[in-house]
Amino acid sequence: MLQRIRSWVRGMVRRARSDGGMTTSEYAVGTIAACAFAAVLYKVVTSPPVMTALQSLLKDALDAKF
């Protein structure tokens, strides 16, 4: 997973360097930061404790009596 992200980021950096329309480096840095945040969030959400809590929450919601 981490290797895929690194490869993707390298590709984005290469494209950003060759893109004549990019006028500021802030856009590229912001994109990379957003991707890094998404990767960390994905790891947290797919961790066993969080998955167990989410499954428990969904099970309780589906088993609710109306």
pTM of the model: 0.48
Question: pLDDT digits over 12-62, tens only?
Answer: 777 766 655 556 788 888 899 999 999 999 999 999 999 999 999 999 899
8 Å CB contact between 22 and 16: yes
- CA-to-CA distance for 44 and 5, rounded, in angstroms? 16
Q: What is the pLDDT of residue 16?
A: 67
Tokens, residue 20? 């004549």
